């Protein structure tokens, strides 16, 4: 290539330069390049690493990529190593907010939590939530969550040792205050709130007709979906929001039998309909995530109560199920955590019924393959967790709370950075 300065630039190979990139500049005299012997070899700058300044938490950068890494979430502010399961948790976009739950090693309501905290992973800061006007101590069962509306976390229903509750509250981080929510329906132990972008909707576990929306003009919940409802709600099911519909799947019926059915609720259409069960396995205590156009369901317990290691996906557009590969999948488990990263499904922890697990896997739908997560290796702390809460921040998996088979559960949680 002719340069303005009478030099011809070429790429020179240098076997003895041990990877140093060189640029050769040949003098040009009377428009005729001189011989290579007269070339001047100039080292080129090393190509900048794609991750040298972006790896979080001191992770290693190798060949332009940040290596996956586990970090503990410590909380000296809480000064406790007690287990916390059945807690409500939401991701706000900058913080994860946790409230309630119970200690499985303490009997009765004495083990209930009536407190919570907010954790900022970017600043690695944790703050306690206020107690004034907060919900009474309670826990969330499988299939029940809190919801983030864009400016507040809403908790409704839940359980104590005396049964289900019929009230709730909204926590507003900007003012650090709780606002009580009135009761206007029967108590619900397993209810899933979702935010449609314009309204808060509650989907209960009693059937397709058990769907409610918050009427701001009335200041109460109004039933909106048509469909059958049962006096006995299902439990230990999953519920995911697609952006248009709420998908309720699986769980146990009133007799403790695992179910292979479910329904979908459309708040905009104010209708509900059944989900096809052909090709689906009965399961409870599984985990489900929404991934762009389909719901992935992993693990759980089968009709005989045994831990499962299967993965299936449901596509609402075609109302069909599809079995996914089991090759290199995590071992059978339930009460684990699962999140969608935008590209893959992360599964971690849980129990197989005899031991608490500290491993997991990453499923890539693009090529229908599993990859084992790097081991979480730490001494003197509780590595394994079951019944924990988890959120995906956009950059990392946050696992908070949970229990193992010991009296003390420390640290507060774990951060996995893929």
* Per-residue pLDDT band at 20 (split at 50, 70, 90): very low
pTM for this one?
Answer: 0.84
pLDDT at 3 over 60: no
Residues in the chain, overall count: 418
Q: Please name the helix (run of DSSP H) or strand (run of DSSP E) that holds residue 239, with its range, or none.
A: strand 238-241
The model's confidence at residue 321, banded by pLDDT at 50, 70 and 90, is very high
Q: What is the mean pLDDT of residues 151-161?
A: 93
Confidence of residue 141 (pLDDT cuts 50, 70, 90): confident
283 against 56, higher pLDDT: 283
> In the numeric block, which tokens belong to residue 337?
């955590």
Q: Of residues 43 and 211, which shows the higher confidence score?
A: 211
Q: Which CATH number does the domain 78-184 belong to among 3.40.50.620, 2.120.10.80, 1.10.3720.10, 3.40.309.10?
A: 2.120.10.80
Average pLDDT of the residues in 193-214: 87
Q: Is the dihedral of CA 310, 194, 236, 81 positive or negative?
A: positive
List the strands of the sheet with 69-73, edge to edge.
69-73, 413-417, 397-400, 389-392
When pLDDT is averaged across residues 355-363 and rounded to a whole number, the result is: 96
pLDDT value, residue 250: 95
User: 123: left (phi > 0), else alpha (psi -120 to 50), else beta?
Assistant: alpha
The C-alpha angle with vertex 102 and arms to 98 and 105, in degrees rounded to 5, equals 140
Per-residue model confidence as pLDDT tens digits over 215-229: 767 777 888 887 777
Query: For residue 335, is pLDDT > 90?
Result: yes
- Is the pLDDT assigned to residue 262 strictly greater than 70? yes
Mean pLDDT of the chain: 85
Residue 26 has pLDDT above 90, yes or no: no
**C-alpha span between 402 and 84 (Å, rounded):** 5
Q: Alpha-carbon torsion 328, 334, 339, 340, what sign?
A: positive
The domain locations on the chain are 7-43, 78-184
What value does the mean pLDDT take over residues 265-286? 93
Please tell me the predicted confidence (pLDDT) of residue 204: 84
**CA-CA-CA-CA torsion sign (316, 345, 148, 89):** positive
């Amino acid at each position: 290539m002719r340069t303005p300065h009478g030099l011809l630039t070429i790429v020179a190979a240098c076997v003895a330069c041990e990877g140093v990139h060189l640029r050769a500049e040949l003098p040009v005299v009377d428009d005729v390049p001189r011989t290579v012997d007269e070339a001047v070899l100039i080292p080129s700058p090393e190509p900048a690493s794609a991750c040298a300044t972006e790896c979080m938490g001191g992770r290693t950068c190798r060949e332009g990529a940040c290596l996956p890494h586990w970090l503990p979430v410590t909380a000296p502010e809480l000064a406790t190593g007690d287990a916390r399961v059945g807690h409500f948790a939401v991701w706000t976009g900058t913080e994860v907010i946790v409230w309630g739950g119970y200690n499985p090693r303490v009997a009765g309501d004495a083990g209930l939590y009536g407190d919570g905290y907010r954790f900022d992973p970017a600043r690695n800061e944790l703050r306690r939530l206020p107690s004034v006007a907060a919900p009474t101590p309670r826990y969330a069962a499988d299939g029940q969550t809190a919801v983030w509306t864009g400016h507040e976390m809403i908790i409704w229903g839940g359980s104590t040792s005396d049964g289900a509750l019929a009230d709730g509250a909204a926590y507003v981080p900007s003012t650090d205050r709780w606002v009580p929510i009135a009761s206007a329906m029967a108590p619900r132990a397993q209810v899933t709130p979702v935010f449609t972008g314009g309204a808060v909707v509650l989907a209960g576990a009693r059937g397709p007709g058990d769907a409610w929306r918050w009427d701001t003009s009335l200041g109460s919940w109004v039933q909106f979906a048509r469909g059958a409802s049962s006096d006995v709600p299902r439990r230990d099911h999953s519920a995911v929001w697609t952006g248009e519909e709420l998908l309720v799947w699986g769980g146990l019926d009133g007799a403790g039998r695992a179910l292979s059915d479910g329904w979908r609720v459309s708040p905009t259409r104010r209708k509900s309909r059944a989900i096809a069960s052909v090709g689906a396995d009965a399961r409870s205590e599984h985990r489900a995530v929404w991934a762009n156009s389909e719901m992935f369901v992993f693990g759980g317990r089968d009709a005989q109560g045994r831990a499962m290691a299967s993965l299936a996906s449901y596509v609402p557009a075609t109302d069909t199920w599809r079995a996914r590969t089991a090759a290199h999948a995590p071992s059978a488990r339930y009460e684990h955590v699962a999140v969608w990263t935008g590209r893959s499904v992360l599964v971690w922890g849980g129990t197989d019924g005899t031991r608490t697990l500290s491993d997991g896997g990453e499923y890539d739908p693009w090529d229908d393959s599993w990859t084992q997560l790097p081991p979480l290796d730490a001494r003197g702390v509780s590595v394994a967790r079951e019944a924990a809460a988890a959120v995906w921040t956009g950059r990392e998996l946050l696992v908070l709370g949970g229990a193992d088979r010991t009296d003390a559960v420390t640290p507060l949680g774990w951060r996995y950075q893929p």
